[in-house]
Structure 1
Amino acid sequence: MTTNSLHKHSIEPNLLGWNFSEPALNQKWIADITYIWTCEGWVYLAVVLDLFLRRIIGWNLEIRMTANLATTALQRAIALRQSPPDCVHHADRGSQ
């Protein structure tokens, strides 16, 4: 799968650029989706990672790649970290 930027949803500016370093907690979160083969078929994994800790803080696993896959991972990260006000959430420009 590749990123699909050919959609009608708004595309936000890339605030992160190529700067993947962060000196403080809850300043930059990045998100992505991958797929994994299991004995029961393909599953999709969405994760949100804090760049300071280099640690997953939100995730979701589903059998279909939908918007809910990505938003649930983000909601779990927000629930864990209490929604930091100045945090940049960066994801690719896919359809989810």
Structure 2
Amino acid sequence: MNDATFTKARQSVEALLTIEARSTGSSEIAALVLLSAYNSFDFTVPVADLGSLDGENYRHALNVITLRYMGFEPHTVVENGSARFEAMRGRWAHLSTNKEAAA
């Protein structure tokens, strides 16, 4: 992954973290994109739901997926990432596909 692509992906993680925290109509899918890239055992993103994102945020989602494909975990590319992702995981635990983890 070249520096420009990595920078764009890092910015996309930040953008989706912002959307997730705002409680908008796109918050849930933003959270699922990030959480599935972070821990796909407990969270999955329904691909059809990506269609609920506007064009810019859809590209952010694809950038995060690309980041993960290239071997980077999203929480490692942003400041205070581990704490931020664990807090997000707690907020969205009800969406976990692993019902034991959600309990």
Give TM-score scaled by structure 2 length. Answer: 0.31
Greater percentage in helix: 2
Give TM-score scaled by structure 1 length. Answer: 0.32
Greater percentage in strand: 1
* Bigger Rg over Cα: 1
